[in-house]
Structure 1
Amino acid sequence: MELDSVMLSRMLTSMTLAFHIIFATIGVGVPIMISIAEFIGIKRNDPYYLLLARRWARGFTITVAVGVVTGTAIGLQLSLLWPSFMEVAGQVIALPLFMETFAFFFEAIFLGIYLYTWDRFKNRMTHWLLTIPVMIGSSASALFITTVNSFMNTPQGFELEGGKAVNIDPIAAMFNPATPSKVFHVLTTSYMTAAAVLAAIAAFAIIRGKRSEYERKALRLTMICTFIFSILTAVAGDVSAKFLAEVQPEKLAAAEWHFETEEGADLILFGTLDENNEIKYELRLPKFLSFLAGNSFDTKVIGLNEFPEDERPPLWVHYMFDLMVSIGFFVLAVSGIYILLDKLKRFNQLNKPLLWMIVASGPLAMLAIEFGWIYAEVGRQPWILRGYMKVSEAATTGDGVGLTFILFALLYLVLGVICVFVLIRMFKNTPAEAELEQRFPNL
């Protein structure tokens, strides 16, 4: 594989997105968890839930700081690495890019107020109300940036004349056909993943011998939220699949290795492809692709052979799709089993196999986010702006991308190490038990 400017630009953008999405996902999902924990703590006058909200908020600030750096890097790379794309689409997507920045500052302002006003209001619900603008800001930030990605999949709101965008309607561009399903999917998966990561932390603490009321309540809350958000994620995935079947059939066909247009199409899980595109060693669910595409086992599903070869996505996205879906159902199953055992009073803190599955659910859920975004981006190939501009036409022709890649890789390595180190030291130096005794001496 030749590392020309196009490939290096793709590699650098992919690396940035893969790193940024970790912090973006946490940034969207954790405020919801903070708000839920504090609300329950106030309503029940429960110091354990209040402490959960405090500690989650404290750690959240570190991830927000790293997310700012990586988010800024994405904006910079759009202009440096994809100048032809920005020349055509820059004015069209300027509004959501600006609104995303505005939403972040809106969130950051209220997050600062929230952090510095603990125990300063006579009515504690006043402090909880500050979580609402934080949640709105974080979710709105995800919404606006997702509309940009949606626009790249189903562009509208402009006309192309002489290589220039004219008759621009930024509102129509933002609320393009892909926006509802993509935003729904991004938000639900972010909420689910954040809850799963926090559940994994609580489960790991219990495995290590910390079995107080604080860890027990943290695990119960996060697992219930993981289960609820997993169900919503499954619904969002179903909506997305039906959208793809109607509007981007080549993307769904590549994900399912579906080559011939037919009714009653089978759903293909994993397997391998030979040089003649013959599928082997797969798990085949008869007619389920048709059901996924249109809620009927007789729905006609367009095959990949209907499209020119140079406009077909890479077939390896099939594995990204399968891994994303498999992990989603694993997290749903693990959280469902926990809730069932907890309800039946059959779960105890010594149930190590289930605890280890909960621990695994956190990083696996984050991997599912990564696999999903790889599928979303690579599944659009060869287009950067579907139907208008291919990736090869949009990339920079300048030199120095390779050196830039190395520098950014070093930056992300340093940021990642610092983030992990600070978070570990932050909570190791102030364990929950000591903080409970300090803040609630009569507990």
Structure 2
Amino acid sequence: MVDQPILGAPTDVRVVTAVGVLAHLAMASSFLGTILLAVVAEYLYIRSHNQFWYNTARTFSVISTIFFGVGAAFGTLVEFGLVTLWSNFISLIGEAIVLPFYLELFAFLTEVIILPLYVFTWNKIKNQVLHWIIGIAAAFGGYYSAYNILAVMASLSMRPPGLEVINLYQATGQNVVGLTDYVVKWASPADAWNMFWWGANVFIFHGILAAVILTWSIIAAIYLYFYIRDKKPERLMMLKILVPTMAILTAIQGFVLGHLQGELVLQDDPLKLAALEGMFWSGLKVDPLTSFLAYGTFNHAFWGYFSWPAYERPPAFVFIFYWVFMVIFGILLGIWSGALSLWYLFPGFFGSFSWARALANFFERSGVYLMPFFAAFASIGGAVSAESGRYPFILVQADPNPNGSPPIITGVPVGPGGLLNPTLYFPVWLAVLVLIVEIAMPSLAVFMVYLYLRRAPKYVETEVKAVEY
């Protein structure tokens, strides 16, 4: 089915949806990163009794609550928009996604109940370990919520085993109340747990690590900015936690999870592979670099991007978001965070070389601006590559073509009869209004954090101990 726009609505709807989802991902990422930092800082306080870690943990527990509160309200707006703008999505895929969304409800309730308990019981619970456990429970709620949401997102790119896409119109000549020709169902009720299959878990943990890396990169840049100005030892203590963790997670993201996700795309979605790798040709052609990375040889042939009809192909710009944004900026983030990690962890060794001190000075001063830039654009590149890569189908599956033509790409079209409600009309002025709200909500959260930090309560100050971690 050709994906043709009606009444100008699909383009507006996709832009509004994309901005809303990316903005919500930014809010969720901020919560995941800040609540984790609060829990880590409280653990360091329990070990060292250093007041700096206590103040840090308490501050970031409040910041995480701000992001959670605004993010929860914003998430409701995004969900309402998805149900309204893509009402066919619920009609055809409700059975498939009911399990992870049901589990996500309990995760969300865990956040709602325990996060305020964590924030408002500082100095109220005398047993600091017990308070820390409450923080772990609050963080678990957030991460388990993200786990289930990302499981649904993973299924949209890689069809889980046992999930069947049925074209009712072709099979029976009927559709679902005139809205969609498709329905998605499990071959067996027990197959619902396949939403969490191996491929989904690769996608899930890839997304969770991206959230932590992005948030910690921004926080590290802020601490680095002030450390360059005043050289306070507590800021260096914080950088010794943030920067090496970023370097390690970036390495895992690229060399482990990124590699595994690339293998899944290679096996299951040749059209997406062609778009990501920039294979802009028709028919079979040898790509030496991709062949070497995928198979260890230089002579494997791949189906090119133009081998499939135009209405099936992802946008050509996916190649830019994948290679320039995600891959190159991700590598640069690894270089900057890795170099600073070596300098902060082994200053005695590198400090004896003048070239090392000069290089460290370069990475410090440029890292203030470049590390969050690299992390943000790498995250955007990864998100756009994943989301656009499935266009214009959902629950994608590739099957060999018996006549030797390109593999058959099957799924649910985005257009009329598929995900798009044919009765929908979405004028441009309404799209602009919704975009303004979608941009204003995350901006409000950032402004609230700014106000809190500007007027943060003065906790009991003690002399900072020179404790190294």
With the shorter chain as reference, the TM-score category is: 0.7 to 0.9
Q: After superposition, where does 1:123-162 map in structure 2 within 5 Å?
A: 123-156=127-160, 157-158=163-164, 160=166, 162=168
Kindly state the Cα deviation for residue 383 of structure 1 after the two structures are TM-superposed: 1.0
Kindly state the Cα deviation for residue 401 of structure 1 after the two structures are TM-superposed: 4.7
- TM normalised by structure 2 equals 0.81
Q: Do structure 1's residue 391 and structure 2's residue 404 form an aligned pair?
A: no
Contact 1:241/1:292, CA 8 A, preserved across alignment = no
CA deviation map 1:240-298 (0-9, x unaligned): 111111111211211111246455x34xxxxxxxxxxxxxxxxxxxx3x2243345556
In structure 1, C-alpha distance between the alignment counterparts of 2:247 and 2:13, rounded to whole Å: 38
Contact 1:238/1:292, CA 8 A, preserved across alignment = no
1:328 aligns with 330
Taking a change above 3 Å as real, the CA distance of residues 232 and 30 of structure 1, as seen in their structure-2 partners, is farther
1:280 aligns with none
In structure 1, C-alpha distance between the alignment counterparts of 2:292 and 2:36, rounded to whole Å: 33
Q: After superposition, where does 1:1-16 map in structure 2 within 5 Å?
A: 4-16=8-20
In structure 2, C-alpha distance between the alignment counterparts of 1:408 and 1:33, rounded to whole Å: 33
The total of aligned residue pairs comes to 416
2:238 aligns with 218
Give the counterpart letter for 1:149 in structure 2.
Answer: M
Give the counterpart letter for 2:235 in structure 1.
Answer: E
1:408 aligns with 434
Taking a change above 3 Å as real, the CA distance of residues 94 and 252 of structure 1, as seen in their structure-2 partners, is same
Say which is worse superposed, 56-65 or 402-411, in terms of deviation: 402-411
1:340 aligns with 342
Give the counterpart letter for 2:98 in structure 1.
Answer: A
2:174 aligns with none
Contact 2:92/2:183, CA 8 A, preserved across alignment = yes
2:291 aligns with 290
CA deviation map 1:49-69 (0-9, x unaligned): 222211111211111122112
1:109 aligns with 113
Kindly state the Cα deviation for residue 299 of structure 1 after the two structures are TM-superposed: 5.6
2:222 aligns with 201
Taking a change above 3 Å as real, the CA distance of residues 125 and 369 of structure 1, as seen in their structure-2 partners, is same
Say which is worse superposed, 217-226 or 301-310, in terms of deviation: 301-310
CA deviation map 1:8-58 (0-9, x unaligned): 111110110121111111222322222222112211222222222111112
Say which is worse superposed, 214-223 or 293-302, in terms of deviation: 293-302
Contact 1:250/1:312, CA 8 A, preserved across alignment = yes
Give the counterpart letter for 1:378 in structure 2.
Answer: S
Out of 257, 260, 268, the residue aligned to residue 247 of structure 1 is: 268
Contact 2:202/2:260, CA 8 A, preserved across alignment = yes
In structure 2, C-alpha distance between the alignment counterparts of 1:309 and 1:400, rounded to whole Å: 25
Contact 2:38/2:60, CA 8 A, preserved across alignment = yes
- Identity across matched positions, percent: 24
Contact 2:165/2:411, CA 8 A, preserved across alignment = no
Kindly state the Cα deviation for residue 415 of structure 1 after the two structures are TM-superposed: 2.1
In structure 1, C-alpha distance between the alignment counterparts of 2:185 and 2:322, rounded to whole Å: 36
1:303 aligns with 304
- 3-state SS of the aligned residue for 2:394? strand
2:74 aligns with 70
CA deviation map 1:287-345 (0-9, x unaligned): 3x224334555665443354344322222111000111111111111111111122134
Between 1 and 2, higher relative CO (CA 8 Å, sep ≥ 6) is seen in: 2
Kindly state the Cα deviation for residue 176 of structure 1 after the two structures are TM-superposed: 4.9
Taking a change above 3 Å as real, the CA distance of residues 441 and 256 of structure 1, as seen in their structure-2 partners, is closer
- 3-state SS of the aligned residue for 1:388? strand
Q: Do structure 1's residue 184 and structure 2's residue 205 form an aligned pair?
A: yes
Q: CA RMSD in A?
A: 2.7
In structure 2, C-alpha distance between the alignment counterparts of 1:37 and 1:220, rounded to whole Å: 12
Q: Do structure 1's residue 164 and structure 2's residue 180 form an aligned pair?
A: no
In structure 2, C-alpha distance between the alignment counterparts of 1:19 and 1:117, rounded to whole Å: 31
Out of 428, 431, 434, the residue aligned to residue 454 of structure 2 is: 428
- TM normalised by structure 1 equals 0.85
In structure 1, C-alpha distance between the alignment counterparts of 2:462 and 2:126, rounded to whole Å: 17
In structure 2, C-alpha distance between the alignment counterparts of 1:439 and 1:114, rounded to whole Å: 21
